[in-house]
Chains A and B, each alone.
Chain A
Amino acid sequence: MSKSKEEFMKALSEAVVEYDEDACRELSREVLDNPDTLTPYEAVMNGLAAGMEEVGRLYDTQEYFVPEVLMCADALYAGLDILRPHIPKADAEVKAQVVIGSIQGDVHDIGKNLVKMMFDVAGWGVHDLGRDVPLEQFVEKQLDTNSEVVAMSAMMTTTMLGMKKVIAMIKEKNPECLIMLGGAPVTKDIANLFGADGYADSAGNAVSEGIKMIGRLREFQAGKK
């Protein structure tokens, strides 16, 4: 007997939490075979993304650590890759675009990739510049794409100062653009000092904050429907 909508969402959520990539793929294909039960969009937002919210809770309570979160992210992407091409444009309407990257001098990108996932799930247009990104590339990409958000990460004290320059360059050309900073050495004071609009103070908090943001977006989308 085929699953109900609730059963699908619960199973997808659990597959993410249990970092079961195969189950995520299988369930996602099943969702596509049962278009009358739930839409791919519902499966992403209330199944996969809901699972990632639970992962965030487990991370906050120190039941999960970064290795588990990374595997959950892989499971989420396994489902997302199957479901996303089938989400109608009206549902997938891109609300905003983000330019994201690790700043020049920094070759760490775990936190950046997890935040990128958050934007991916939420259906944003994501322009990932990778790592060790020269400062001016952030500015150029933001101007080219007119992205609403620029998200930069630095895992080292020794690289975060470049962020200040990028913020100044972007804000000069486009004061409306929102800047998110992340990475271990970035504190709230530093984010304020640099003129950023938001921050996450560690790779861990990037996970936690990013996942909470998914929750807020889900609430926002639910309220809109």
Chain B
Amino acid sequence: MAELTSKERIQKFFKKEPIDTMPVFSGMGTVVIQAVNEMGVKFAQVHTTAELLAGSAIKSSEMCGLDAVVIPYDMATVAQAVGRGLTLYENSPDILYPTVPNKWETLEAVDIPTDFMKRARMPMVDEAFKILLKDGRFAVGAWQLGPFTLAGQIIELGLLLKGAKKNKEAVEAFLTKMTDIVIESIKHYESLGVDFLNIREMGSGTDLLSPKMWNQLIQPNLTRIFSALKTPAVLHICGSTDLIVPMMNQCGADALSFDQKNTITKTRTAVGNDVIVLGNFDPYGTMVQMENPADVETVVKKCIDDGVDAVWPGCDLWPDVKMDNIKAWVNTTREYGRKPSPAIKRL
């Protein structure tokens, strides 16, 4: 059996070409605290310079044995760039991701600077991508929040949710504006030459929105995003998704990613065997909480048996992983994933 490099394996994977074994990667953060500690820096620092961001991504994937690197780690880059500030939690002894301290209080107040891609940490993230691409050993993934989730980073989510019922036209216009931002930023990462993209419309599952509202407010914007992209692109949604799988599948993404709340067996039946399905272990419950790596092995095998094409965590890895659990994820996937998956054949 021909052995592929990590980068080749993922590139072929998204082209649905035969590969040697199942790739091990994610489209969300996979930075681990062991890598950050070895670099001798605090977690809050890795979000602030290109060298630390790229360096921690590379070191994490080296230590874990992953096929890809994905940056950035926090969801606040764009919100900060449009002027909503940043809380880094530099003095906290805990692992906390940066957040946005100030949100606009009305839709009318929102004022997006046209040069947001050049503001705050956006140029730093660009530099980090260049470092990752130059390194060349790993497939490079970029992600962006979906329009609805991004909107929730810059205005009060309650305002958006109630507005969707009471002030539909204004909310739709606002989400169109958010979609433009998502397209501008993700197309920029595409132009840098990354290997795959992930649109994380995390806050739009049916825990929050009805399928009808998803169809009206979310689906048209996601469809517009995916139609604008040439690089392989994943659609990831957290939480309850069983009711919206067919609509997610109509958005034009190259792959669909789900968290542990999704019933993958039903999803696979719904989308058929031609669609790349990714998921769906609980990152905290599996990589941090499990005491026995054999339990991780069971979880990984179940994901594969349920019908995923690659075993993805349902969200960012919680950085304080047990390295033995990571190894169990990687090794089990490599071994148990030698057989073909529904959408991807083997060499």
Contact = CB atoms under 8 A, between A and B. Distances in A.
A68 interface: yes
Contacts of A13: none
Interface residues of B, number: 36
B166 A71 contact: yes
Majority secondary structure, A binding face: helix
B338 to A, nearest CB: 31
Contact of A203 (B103, B208, B316): B208
A204 interface: yes
A157 B316 contact: yes
B100 interface: yes
Interface in A147-183: 156-162, 165
Given A65-B210, A67-B165, A132-B87, A157 B100 contact: no
B101 interface: yes
B40 interface: no
A157 B158 contact: no
Interface stretch (B60-68, B88-96, B180-188, B224-232): B88-96
A104 B96 contact: yes
Interface string B163-201: 011100000000000000000000000000000000000
Contacts of B131: none
Given A184-B239, A187-B285, A203-B208, A70 B162 contact: yes
B161 A158 contact: no
A66 B96 contact: no
Contact of B162 (A74, A157, A162, A190): A74
B140 interface: no
A108 B320 CA distance: 22
A105 B96 contact: yes
Contacts of B161: 66-67, 70, 110
Given A66-B209, A71-B162, A159 B96 contact: yes
Nearest to A160: B284
A184 B202 CA distance: 12
B213 A67 contact: yes
A117 to B, nearest CB: 12
Nearest to B103: A107
Nearest to B212: A65
B206 interface: yes
A142 interface: no
B208 A107 contact: no
A165 B94 CA distance: 10
Contacts of A184: 207, 238-239
B124 interface: no
B269 to A, nearest CB: 21
B46 interface: no
Nearest to A132: B99
Contact of A110 (B87, B158, B240, B318): B158
Contacts of A204: 207-208, 240
B157 A110 contact: yes
A4 B143 CA distance: 59
B208 A158 contact: no
B284 A185 contact: yes
Nearest to B313: A157
B316 A67 contact: no
A165 B93 CA distance: 11
Interface in A97-143: 104-108, 110, 113, 132
B19 interface: no
B315 interface: yes
A104 B284 CA distance: 18
A202 interface: yes
A203 B243 CA distance: 18
Given A105-B96, A110-B158, A158-B318, A67 B209 contact: yes
Given A67-B161, A67-B208, A190-B285, 4 more contacts: A66-B209, A104-B96, A107-B103, A202-B207
In order of increasing CB-CB distance, the 6 nearest A-B pairs are A105-B96, A67-B161, A65-B210, A66-B208, A157-B284, A204-B207
Interface of A: 62, 65-68, 70-71, 74, 104-108, 110, 113, 132, 156-162, 165, 184-185, 187, 189-190, 193, 202-204
22 contacts: A66-B161, A66-B207, A66-B208, A67-B165, A67-B208, A67-B209, A67-B210, A70-B158, A104-B96, A108-B157, A132-B87, A132-B99, A132-B101, A157-B315, A158-B318, A159-B97, A161-B320, A162-B96, A185-B284, A202-B239, A203-B207, A203-B208
